[in-house]
Amino acid sequence: MSAIEKLPAEDIPDNGLLRFLTCGSVDDGKSTLIGRLLYDSKTILADTLHAIQRSSARRGLDIVDLSLLTDGLQAEREQGITIDVAYRYFTTGTRKYIIADAPGHEQYTRNMVTAASTADLAIILIDARKGVLTQTRRHSYVAHLLGIPHIVVAVNKMDLVDYAQETFDRIRSDYLAFANGLGIADVRFIPLSALHGDMIVERGERLPWYDGPTLFEMLEGAPAIHSEHDEKFRFPVQYVCRPQDSANPELHDYRGFMGRVESGEVHVGDRVTVLPSGLESRVRDIQVLGESLPRAVAEQSVSILLEDEIDISRGDMIVRSGELPQVGKNIDAMLCWLSESPLDPRRKYLLRHTTRDSKAMLAAIAFRVDINSMQQQPAERLLMNDIARVSFRLAQPIFADPYNESRGTGAFIIIDESTNNTVAAGMIL
Amino acid sequence: MSIAKLARVTLSHLDWLESEAIHIMREVAGQCGNPVLLFSGGKDSICMLRVAEKAFRPGRFPFPLLHIDTGHNYREVTDFRDRRAAELGERLIVRSVEDSMARGTVVLKSADEPRNKHQSVTLLEAIEEFGFDACIGGARRDEEKARAKERIFSFRDEFGQWDPKNQRPELWDLYNARSFKGENIRVFPISNWTEIDVWQYIEREKLALPSIYFAHRRPIVRRGGGLLPVTEVTPARPGEAVETLQVRFRTVGDITCTAPVESDAEDVASIIAETAVTTITERGATRLDDQTSEASMEQRKKEGYF
């Protein structure tokens, strides 16, 4: 029996992978929503279901609590809250999904920032009985700050407001009033009941006045990342392959520049510039495991071979000539402080941007953002979960783009060399 | 959110997962001084070797391979392990739980106690012996609840311990593999793969597997609702009926805690078809050591397990 006869996937279009973030607290039914997505997409297997049935019964619940599916760690189960980002997986046959499940409590802004950093879409949950809350604004602000291109506002628990359209419409206009102020462009609204499954995978019969897509349809139809705008080619070099000791003499002069395309695409023959040297060459070949490719696209890991012998090492960047990034030692950025130790303005930190590290010193804190009121406030130092506009002075230049143009070359982290901890996340302006 | 011009090629989900894993391995090579890749001969680590080839060829791997052998592994798997390492021309280090037992650093509660959890001790001893600063492992987040929150670059202190409350934030694809001497980073390049992704990748890349992953006839007994292989180290108990069934293994760990499932699947495509309709999770079906308590994986990880 041949493999192809038995594999239906050959006929089904592969719509790639979508990473999305769910924000909300336990009270909004977030865990139930995720449980519902996994349950209705048939991702939950019998033994897992039996385990949560047992847990539900042990807690005296008479229905299966789908939220138990996402309560990961013993420590958290004891406290009954989710304290860290958890990742979940499901597939619809045409698309694979990675859910980043971020806790909603105020003290865990840093977890939401973490989860948002890799998300292409955010589902912001609102309890229909409570409407737009401070935490809704906070989640929306962070999702927008982290550059998530698509936001879905899910008005949940419609079953508890008699599936009333007026409630949904009021929440939508409340939300739009502040979202417009933040500059959020693509936002969609959907009424649903995660508990009963209305408008998740099935439409149900209790929301006849809503004629938009179900949540599943929104996820299936969301554009792939890197597909919506023209992008500049950016290739940070991770590793240089020079197999000189190989028995094969043909490899004696082999120099493969290994990395992942952060944005844009590159073709064999393209004229490229190498930073920081500024030297130019052409792409001679693009390879993966001995196979030559005509081009490489965003998010693809390849080896690039150039026509000219140029000295290139980890931390350098290959870009298309004529499309250079900003090269500089001074950066302005939005910064989220993630560490329990406050930012110390007198200390040197390590800034990691693409595959490049540089010593960095804080030059100024322009303002701190109160993420509940969105007000800008003066600040002398930054504490955990603070978000601020700052500037840094660097020892080495970096090759950067504004974060809102390119996440891959606009993002950086700050590392405290005394502990090796990652203490902050930054987005270049 | 209308579907805008999709002019650009979007990577298929397998291409995306593979590309992410390559990127992660190259970050290890770029950031760590003395990494090692854990290779057991199991399907997840076989996928990792393929990823490593795509990440580093035509060069050599910038790390050796390491297997922590419990001494209770299937011959088919250890033979495969040795053959695969030789084909790749890469260095394979094997360290044995039985050596740790001889040294007295592993003490079994009873002679037939499963040795899986004791691999932690031998692994930590190997890390110390060679001074490895990073161990690349094949764990996946879909395997078990405690893994769903695992970082891709997971920090372990000098006792090899994982503290779920003291993990570094991990943002974008900016990984932090820094450690001080004696500390260790565990790296999981296929964190975002699921069991079906692994099988699809094996099929796409036409990867060879140890024969016991495919249907074969084997003497078994039925115990505790599952099937147990009858072997020298796992004999039938008095009164148990030994049957010969058509089975395959979904995971191939220590003999004493890896159970087969009934199956007629003789090739990867048939396994994918079976996996797509299966009703039991991979670990639930076949890892007898995880069923003890809901939190057993979390406990073992805190003690230095992969």
Q: How far apart are CA B20 and CA B140, in angstroms?
A: 14
Q: What is the pLDDT of residue A14?
A: 77
Let me know: does A144 contact A119? Beta carbons within 8 Å.
no
Contact B48, B37 (CB under 8 A): yes
Q: How far does A81 lie from chain B, in Å, by closest CA?
A: 13
pLDDT for B256: 82
What's the mean pLDDT when you consider all of chain B?
A: 86
Q: Which of A43, A12, A40 is nearest to B278 (CA)?
A: A43
Percent of chain A with pLDDT over 70: 85
Q: Comparing B191 with A245, which gets the higher pLDDT?
A: B191
Sign of the Cα pseudo-torsion (B228, B234, B235, B236, in order): negative
Q: Residue A74 and residue B294: Cβ atoms within 8 Å?
A: yes
Q: What amino acid is encoded at A184 in this protein?
A: I
Q: CB distance B11–A300 less than 8 Å?
A: yes
Q: Which residues of A touch B176 (CB under 8 A)?
A: 352, 413, 415, 420-422
| Two tokens, residue A164 | 């009333």
Query: What would the pLDDT profile of B269-284 be if each residue is shown by its tens digit?
Result: 998 888 776 655 555 5
Question: A6: which chain B residues are within 8 Å (Cβ-Cβ)?
Answer: 267, 269-270, 272-273
Tell me the CA end-to-end span of chain A in Å, nearest whole number: 57
Considering CB atoms only, which of A45, A84, A98 is closest to B281? A45
Q: What is the pLDDT of residue A186?
A: 84
Backbone angles phi, psi at B305, to 5 degrees: -65, 165
Q: What is d(CA B65, CA B88) in angstroms, rounded to the nearest whole number?
A: 11
**pLDDT band at residue A230 using 50, 70 and 90 as cut-offs:** confident
Over residues A346-355, the mean pLDDT reads 97
Structural element, H or E, at residue B14 = helix B13-31
Q: Shortest Cα distance from B42 to chain A (angstroms)?
A: 21
DSSP string, A355-424: TEEEEEEEEEEEEEEETTTTEEE--SS--TT-EEEEEEEEEEEEEE--TTT-HHHHEEEEEETTTTEEEE
Using a CB–CB cutoff of 8 Å, tell me whether B78 touches chain A: no
CB-based contact B173 A260, cutoff 8 Å? yes
Name the nearest CA neighbour of A219 among A10, A15, A9: A15
Residue A264 has pLDDT above 60, yes or no: yes
- The answer for A88, left when phi > 0, alpha when psi is -120 to 50, beta otherwise, is beta
Residue B58 to residue A407, Cβ atoms within 8 A: no
Q: Which residues contact A8 (CB under 8 A, 6 or more apart)?
A: none
Closest residue in A to B206 (Cα–Cα): A3
Question: Is it the case that residue B286 has pLDDT exceeding 60?
Answer: no
Express each pLDDT in A15-28 by its tens digit: 889 999 998 866 77
Measured between CA atoms, the residue of chain B closest to residue A55 is B294
DSSP annotation string for A19-40: EEEEE--GGGTHHHHHHHHHHH
What sign does the CA torsion over B217, B193, B281, B296 have?
positive
pLDDT at residue A224 is higher than 60? yes
Residue of A118, A299, A408 with shortest CB distance to B19: A299
Strand (E) or helix (H) holding A349: strand A348-353
User: Rounded to a whole number, what is the distance in Å from the CA of B114 to chain A's nearest CA?
Assistant: 22
Is residue A341 less than 8 Å (CB to CB) from chain B?
no
Look at A47 and B280 and tell me if their CB atoms are within 8 Å: yes
pLDDT at B3: 37
Of residues A93 and B155, more confidently modeled: B155
- The Cα of B102 is separated from the nearest Cα of chain A by a number of Å equal to 34
CA A424/CA B156 separation, integer angstroms: 21
B9 contact residues in A (CB cutoff 8 A) = 265, 297
The reported pLDDT for the residue numbered B28 is: 98
For residue A351, the chain B residue with the least C-alpha distance is B174
Mutation target for B interface from A7, A111, A120, A354: give the one with most B CBs within 10 A: A7
Q: Which residue of B has its CA nearest to A50?
A: B280
Closest-CA distance of chain B to residue A243, Å: 5
The residues in A 163-192 lying below 8 A from B, measured between CB atoms, are 186, 188
Note the pLDDT tens digit of each residue in A199-216. Answer: 998 899 999 999 999 999
Residue B95 has pLDDT above 50, yes or no: yes
Mean pLDDT estimate for chain A:
87
* CA dist., res. A103 & res. A83, Å (int): 6
pLDDT at B293: 42
Lay out the sheet containing A86-91: strands in order across. A86-91, A96-102, A17-23, A121-127, A150-156, A187-191
Which residues on chain B are in Cβ contact (under 8 Å) with A47? Answer: 279-281, 284-285
CA A278, A282, A285, A286 torsion-angle sign: positive
In chain B, which residue's Cα lies nearest the Cα of A264? B8
Kindly provide the residue ranges of all beta strands, DSSP E only, lying in chain B, ordered along the sequence. 35-38, 65-69, 92-96, 134-136, 153-156, 184-187, 216-223, 226-229, 243-249, 260-262
Say if the Cβ atoms of A95 and B15 lie within 8 Å.
Answer: no
More confident residue, A236 or A106: A236
> Rounded to an integer, what distance in angstroms lies between the CA atom of residue B9 and that of residue A294?
13
Partner residue opposite B1 with nearest CB, options A17, A48, A150: A150
Q: What is the pLDDT of residue A214?
A: 95
Whose CA is closest to A218, among A97, A78, A79, A111? A97
| pLDDT, average across residues B165-176 | 90
To which residue do tokens 């130019």 refer? A280
Q: Is A98 an interface residue toward B (CB < 8 Å)?
A: yes
- CA atoms in the 13 A half-sphere facing the CB of A97: 26
Amino acid B214: pLDDT: 95
Q: What is the C-alpha to C-alpha distance for residues A254 and B201, in angstroms, rounded to an integer?
A: 29
Contacts of A335 in chain B (CB under 8 A): none
Residues 6+ apart with CB under 8 A from A291: none
Residue ranges of A 189-218 with Cβ closer than 8 A to chain B: 218
Q: Give the separation between CA B227 and CA A41, rounded to whole angstroms.
A: 29
Mutate to test the interface with A, among B174, B191, B264 (most CBs of A within 10 A): B174
Q: Between B271 and B52, name the one with better pLDDT.
A: B52
Task: Return the pLDDT at A50.
Answer: 63
Round to whole Å and give the CA distance between A207 and A189.
13
Least confident of A298-307, A359-368, B134-143, B222-231: B222-231
- Cβ B11–A297 below 8 Å, yes or no? yes
Provide the chain B residues 1-30 that lie in CB contact (below 8 A) with chain A. Answer: 1, 3-20, 22-23, 26-27, 29-30
In this structure, are strands A256-260 and B92-96 parallel, antiparallel, or unpaired? unpaired
How large is the average pLDDT for residues A292-312?
96
Residue A53 touches chain B, beta carbons under 8 Å: no
A298 and B CB contact within 8 Å: yes
